[in-house]
Structure 1
Amino acid sequence: MTRTVSDLVIELLKEWGVTRIFGFPGDGIGAFDGALGADDRTGEGLHYVRPTHEEICALMATAYAKFTGEVGVCVATSSPGAFHMLNGLYDAQMDNQPVVAIVGQQGLAALGTATQQENNLERVFQDVACYVQTIVSPAQVEAVVDTAFRTARLRLQPAVIVLPHDVQAMPAPEPPRAHWVSRSSSVAASGRVVPPGDQLQQAANVINAGERVTFLVGAGASGATDEVLRAADLAGAGIITALRGKDVIPSDVPHHTQQLGLLGSLPSLHQVAKCDTLVLLGTNYPYGEFLPPSGSARAVQIDLRPEQLGLRYPTEVNLWGDVGATLQALIPLLHEKHDRAWQHKVAQEMTEWEDEMTAQALVEYGDGANPRRVFHELNSRLPEGAVVTADAGTTADWYGHHIRLRRGMRGDLSGRLATMMASMPYAVAAKFAFPDRPVVCTIGDGAFQMLGMNELITVRKYRREWQNQQLVVLVMHNDDLAQVSWEMRTEDADPVWRGAQDVESVDYAGFARLLGFQGIRVDRDDQIEEALDTAFATGGVTLIDAYVSRNVPPLPPHITKEYTKNVGKALLQGDPFEKDVIKDSARALATEAVQRVKGVLHVGHSDG
């Protein structure tokens, strides 16, 4: 049989190391789908995963890239399918992930004629993709596919290949040696960029001169755990991780104070306020209000994305390079600090913070389970090698405050985009990436209703492919878009508007049982431990429907006057949950005050 353009694209995908694609079929991509089916019948075909929606395809491809370090690949039909993938591709763009999307298009003669499902897809994807190209000739295929993969990997961004329906079935001979024809290479370019020696020495000089050094570590340092720890040990540095960098540094490192900001820790806030040297490693941390005042700390940054260097803070030395490779070159230039007072202070404050988080988790509210208690108990039961996904919203708060990932564990979420519902496709993608590991998906009820419930159907379809079928879906059921409700109060001084904020209550545990999974309902704090123990004792899929209080405040580590004033104004305007908000906030604040007084008495100083 004559090799077609679709056959050639599949061959090139395999040359680029692709083994799995996330796709949804349609007539605009029909000939390519047919070629995938024929390839599958050979027994050596690409593993085609078909979830319930094209947005899920793109989010899964992004998560798969995050978990494996490979290029994620998603496929969809022309305009409607292509448009649905945009949100997932923006997640890849904003979290610096290599993803290649292949989208169908109407035939060449239809381009620009406003026919059925024909749109200017190159224009549509121009903002999200680092490379977008329509294949209009078989001689163009190799160059376009190779460029898409090479560019996505080097720039850590999504690339888009538009494949018209008639082109998909055209014969695809070897590209000729001819004018206008590029005969390309399917070999990836090296990404282990290392800065020149003189710049490394400049960075070392800044770090060596510091007495209170803090490392802010992001997901761009993934794979460089040992190098970061060695450099921090030499520099006597405390370590903070950005939320997506949470799994880069093991939680049992005593001077690792977890995250910074509204869902971070007080020790992290103190580190940034008191450090004299800040080292940013693979992070594009966006919340400038939590970084040191300009001029109060010298700063060095290492990042593989050059446009992000010096973007968030006035750094003194910017090193363009892979974090791991650059640190390997930098470490011999660092002087070992023998005074560990800074690290010890950081570690002591973190011990006090962990006590505070435990105390907050044990507060009983009476109008549903304490959501902090759910995450606190989950954390103590996480199996070795577990993967935890979190969603946007209050689940991200509780994930940041209470989940501690040990070495070998993984965790992730939609970072800079912070799109709702991503936790569920992330969890399913994690099962494909690590079929031998347990996975936990933490998600709010509002996000779960945004296609998240549908993905239980995908789990039912594919779970038998996973060596370890254990998947725990933890739904925080409070009938509220809770994060937005609290943002209305704290940011805009507005009362909650139930017409917008209420989430229709659904029996999520019953829905799971309908699909043949284990469903457990939790209404009270004293049921949480047994529910989690049962879930982890089960080798299959369990959904825990945790009815939690909608009024537990996601308290930041430092409560500003504006925060307090705005909440007060919102309540005075007739917030429908005024009494419960006051009662539950008072309990949380009282617990915080008691724990911080204990800390003052223990170390003999105040938090300032």
Structure 2
Amino acid sequence: MPETVGDYLLQRLRDWGVEEVFSYPGDGINGILAAFEKAGNEPRFVQSRHEEMSAFQAVGFAKFTGRVGVCMATSGPGAVHLLNGLYDAKLDHVPVVAIVGQTARSAMGGHYQQEIDLQPLFKDVASEYLVEVNVAEQLPNALDRAFRTAEARRSPTAVIIPADLQEEEYTPPQHAFKHVPSSPPSVARSVVVPPDDEVGRAAEVLNSGEKVAVLVGQGARNAADEVRQLADITGAGVAKALLGKDVLPDDLPYVTGSIGLLGTRPSYELMRDCDTLLIVGSNFPYTQFMPEFGQARAVQIDIDGSLIGMRYPTEVNLVGEAKGTLRALLPLLQRKQDRSWRETIEKNVSDWWDTMEQQAMLEAKPVNPMRVVHELSPRIPEDAIVTADSGSSTNWYARNLRMRGRMRGSLSGTLATMGPAVPYAIGAKFAHPDRPVIALVGDGAMQMNGLAELITIARYRKLWSDPRLVVCVFHNNDLNQVTWELRAMGGSPKFEESQSIPDISYADIARSLGLEAIAVDTPDALGDAWDRVLAADRPAVLDVRCDPEVPPIPPHATFEQMKSTAESVLKGDPNAWHLMLQGAKTKVQEFIPNRR
């Protein structure tokens, strides 16, 4: 039987080292599905419940491996469904290749069923590389360029293959006019380092500062040792953008934690009081959480020159890979003898963790959501992978979870879309089947995407050598982050019709699928519940009934925000008295002396 284009596609994916393709079937990719069957399901076809989930799974796989994630969808509606996950990859700079089916070439332009003009549809999200393959000879170069571009640009790319072409006999490109061959699959890597004189200018800025602050993002992940050395020499404190939460562990006394609206008070104080700022591998956009303009001399290091110098008026911009650039910079730095700045940072950090514990242990109705993560932190394995969703639960991931050991963590950073935590976790388990994975999910996101993907978890769980995949649901029957935004930013009371969601048992649904399931509605049961799910012999759902009125107070709540919240209560917010009481109890913990 001759090799078809679909057969060759899978062979080329295997050549690229692809072991999983996250997808959902449809007749626009029937020729490729037939090839999977002939190839003995190599690479593995991982069936989600929805194409958007396939894209998220590919993003999660790519985030936790650094390799290209691959997703696939049929023509028409399947292609449309991929978009949100691919935009997540685009905005967080994640390498993903999307393979998309299309109506047969003979029907194109005929207003045929499920015919959508896919090139305009994907033009923005796959702007780095988008191609429609119309003859077999085109395929190797098109697919290889999609992989190489995704790797080089850290971006999503898309390859569109019409349904009839998938079933045609494959013929390779020839040594002929207008045929374009391709090299064997391989990734070309290089270390980009800025010129010596620019590195010297950066060293002069850092050496002249007395109060140095460092902000790291995901681009600094391969340079953790170098960041530590720089912090030791300069006496700096290190704040972390949310996508860089796992760059440095939180048991280092000078690591101030997350920065921004979901950040910590020590990070806010670090930026407020510093006179020098070094940004490494971060495109953190919220300048109001950085030093006042003119207060600090600043240096930025980033591999992408198009994104450098955009967020703060930096004096020196070093375009280069973080590890290599910091290695060039370190020998030029002078050790600061006055350690008073470092001592202040470490005291602020120590006091903050005391405050976090005090806030987490406050009574609530029924469970304080901060305590959910507080009880997880000392128990979580040092090699765990944590995925977080978008919502009020993200606050507790950002502030209360202490990274240590080889822990990894991520979320939808720039798109901040709801619903990726569970599919990210599935992608993470295929990436690292020998490591435990924990997904921290609000009940709104769980109802949006997570419930259906519990079916996917149940289906594939036996493939994972470490069976632990824990989905922790913050169950408060409220779309809580938006509720708080309405109060704090608009002075509006909670609108029940838009904000309240149906009350269901997530534990019962998990149990019906054969998963471990524990429901918690008292704070004292949390520790034991975490111990049980982290020791389970199968994936688990931890269903925790949380108090929706525990406020996600920013590290520096402005007068206007507090005024708007108070006004929302006066306008008739449900549970107004309980809301104000929880807010007051939580905020006052920041001013209570250390209880140690």
Q: Same fold (TM over 0.5)?
A: yes
2:486 to 459, 464, 488: 488
Question: Displacement of 1:234 after TM fit?
Answer: 2.1
**Secondary structure of 1:545's partner?**
strand
Kindly indicate whether residue 120 of structure 2 is the aligned counterpart of residue 123 of structure 1.
yes
**Aligned amino acid, residue 431 of structure 1:** K
Residues 17-53 of structure 1, C-alpha deviation per residue, up to 9 Å, x if partnerless?
A: 2222111111001101111221126xxx212211111
- Distance in 2 between the 1:462 and 1:481 partners? 30
- Distance in 1 between the 2:286 and 2:494 partners? 25
Kindly indicate whether residue 78 of structure 2 is the aligned counterpart of residue 81 of structure 1.
yes
What's the counterpart of residue 461 of structure 2? 463
What's the counterpart of residue 606 of structure 1? none
Contact conserved, 1:112 with 1:119, CA < 8 A, in 2?
no
1:50 to 42, 47, 67: 47
Contact conserved, 1:249 with 1:407, CA < 8 A, in 2?
no
Kindly indicate whether residue 410 of structure 2 is the aligned counterpart of residue 408 of structure 1.
no
Question: Displacement of 1:221 after TM fit?
Answer: 1.3
What TM-score, normalized by structure 1, do the two folds share? 0.95
- 5 Å-filtered alignment, 1:94-173, equals 94-129=91-126, 130-173=128-171
- Distance in 2 between the 1:358 and 1:191 partners? 44
Residues 533-573 of structure 1, C-alpha deviation per residue, up to 9 Å, x if partnerless?
A: 22223232221110110100011112210111100111111
What's the counterpart of residue 373 of structure 2? 375
- 5 Å-filtered alignment, 1:357-506, equals 357-365=356-364, 367-506=365-504
Moved more, 572-581 or 240-249: 572-581
Question: Displacement of 1:11 after TM fit?
Answer: 2.2
Question: Displacement of 1:223 after TM fit?
Answer: 2.1
Question: Displacement of 1:594 after TM fit?
Answer: 2.0
Question: Displacement of 1:3 after TM fit?
Answer: 2.1
What's the counterpart of residue 258 of structure 1? 257
- Distance in 2 between the 1:103 and 1:539 partners? 37
Alignment CA distance shift 1:191-1:24 (3 Å): farther
- Distance in 1 between the 2:178 and 2:195 partners? 37
**Secondary structure of 1:575's partner?**
coil
Contact conserved, 1:100 with 1:159, CA < 8 A, in 2?
yes
Contact conserved, 1:16 with 1:187, CA < 8 A, in 2?
yes
- Distance in 2 between the 1:116 and 1:531 partners? 50
Residues 165-203 of structure 1, C-alpha deviation per residue, up to 9 Å, x if partnerless?
A: 111122222211122221122332325222222222222
**Secondary structure of 2:259's partner?**
coil
Question: Displacement of 1:319 after TM fit?
Answer: 1.4
- Distance in 2 between the 1:91 and 1:301 partners? 24
**Secondary structure of 1:426's partner?**
helix
What's the counterpart of residue 205 of structure 2? 206
Unpaired runs of at least 5, structure 1? 603-608
What's the counterpart of residue 275 of structure 1? 274
- Distance in 1 between the 2:300 and 2:436 partners? 35
**Aligned amino acid, residue 9 of structure 1:** L
What TM-score, normalized by structure 2, do the two folds share? 0.97
**Aligned amino acid, residue 76 of structure 1:** A
**Secondary structure of 1:469's partner?**
coil
Kindly indicate whether residue 19 of structure 2 is the aligned counterpart of residue 19 of structure 1.
yes
Residues 119-160 of structure 1, C-alpha deviation per residue, up to 9 Å, x if partnerless?
A: 110100111112111001112111111111111111111000
What's the counterpart of residue 338 of structure 2? 339
User: Identity, % of aligned pairs?
Assistant: 45
- Distance in 1 between the 2:144 and 2:341 partners? 49
Residues 301-328 of structure 1, C-alpha deviation per residue, up to 9 Å, x if partnerless?
A: 1112222101111111111111112212
Moved more, 446-455 or 517-526: 517-526
- Distance in 1 between the 2:280 and 2:262 partners? 20
- Distance in 2 between the 1:372 and 1:281 partners? 30
**Aligned amino acid, residue 18 of structure 1:** V
What's the counterpart of residue 37 of structure 1? 37
Residues 231-281 of structure 1, C-alpha deviation per residue, up to 9 Å, x if partnerless?
A: 222222110011111111011111000011221111111110111111111
2:551 to 531, 535, 553: 553
Contact conserved, 1:212 with 1:275, CA < 8 A, in 2?
yes
Contact conserved, 1:393 with 1:482, CA < 8 A, in 2?
yes
- Distance in 1 between the 2:581 and 2:231 partners? 43
What's the counterpart of residue 60 of structure 2? 63
- Distance in 2 between the 1:159 and 1:531 partners? 42
- 5 Å-filtered alignment, 1:343-358, equals 343-358=342-357
- Distance in 1 between the 2:222 and 2:543 partners? 35
- 5 Å-filtered alignment, 1:297-312, equals 297-312=296-311
Moved more, 179-188 or 136-145: 179-188
What root-mean-square deviation, in Å, do the aligned CA atoms of Structure 1 and Structure 2 show? 1.4
- Distance in 1 between the 2:190 and 2:214 partners? 23
**Secondary structure of 2:377's partner?**
helix
Contact conserved, 1:216 with 1:280, CA < 8 A, in 2?
yes
What's the counterpart of residue 582 of structure 1? 580
- Distance in 2 between the 1:13 and 1:208 partners? 49
- Distance in 2 between the 1:207 and 1:111 partners? 60
Question: Displacement of 1:449 after TM fit?
Answer: 0.4
- Distance in 2 between the 1:98 and 1:329 partners? 28
**Secondary structure of 1:109's partner?**
helix
**Aligned amino acid, residue 144 of structure 1:** A
- Distance in 1 between the 2:87 and 2:362 partners? 39
**Secondary structure of 2:258's partner?**
coil
- Distance in 1 between the 2:189 and 2:470 partners? 38
**Secondary structure of 1:239's partner?**
strand
Question: Displacement of 1:226 after TM fit?
Answer: 1.0
What's the counterpart of residue 3 of structure 1? 3
Question: Displacement of 1:470 after TM fit?
Answer: 1.1
**Aligned amino acid, residue 46 of structure 1:** P
**Secondary structure of 1:102's partner?**
strand
Residues 315-357 of structure 1, C-alpha deviation per residue, up to 9 Å, x if partnerless?
A: 1111111111221222222222233222221111100000000
Contact conserved, 1:154 with 1:191, CA < 8 A, in 2?
no
Residues 197-216 of structure 1, C-alpha deviation per residue, up to 9 Å, x if partnerless?
A: 22222222212222111110
- Distance in 1 between the 2:44 and 2:192 partners? 32
What's the counterpart of residue 538 of structure 2? 540
**Secondary structure of 1:85's partner?**
helix
**Secondary structure of 2:406's partner?**
coil
- Distance in 1 between the 2:212 and 2:14 partners? 45
**Secondary structure of 1:580's partner?**
helix
- Distance in 2 between the 1:159 and 1:134 partners? 12
- Distance in 2 between the 1:5 and 1:351 partners? 60
